[in-house]
Amino acid sequence: MTTDQPGDIRPGDIYEDCSFHPVLCTYVDGDELGGISLIDATEPRACSLGHCGVIKLSIDDVIAARADWPAYSVRRKAEFDAEASPSS
């Protein structure tokens, strides 16, 4: 996963939205960014830069997601939950 800050996402970049879809960014408007899913071509997919936890992705991330979308989605949700939960 790429670790760039969400504010670094610009049209043409690929990011992961709050549903864990790799998305081709088509616009940034203040706090909102949106684009087209690279999994199922749904659009518009919009997220808040400040509230959705979007991250910039690499082409390798997209290839992994497309190779086995169900497994990728489950893995990313588990990683997100682990990062959000305090360690015991």
Q: 7-31: b or e for each residue (b if 16 or more CB lie within 10 Å)?
A: eebeeebbbbbeebbbbbbeebeee
User: pTM of this prediction?
Assistant: 0.84
Whole-angstrom Cα distance, residue 34 to residue 78? 24
Q: What does the pLDDT look like over 8-65, one tens digit per residue?
A: 899 999 999 999 999 999 999 999 999 999 999 999 999 999 998 899 999 999 999 9
Whole-angstrom Cα distance, residue 62 to residue 67? 8
Where are the chain's structural domains?
Answer: 6-84
Domain 6-84 is found in CATH 1.10.3470: no
Task: With cut-offs at 50, 70 and 90, classify the pLDDT of residue 7.
Answer: low
Whole-angstrom Cα distance, residue 73 to residue 51? 20
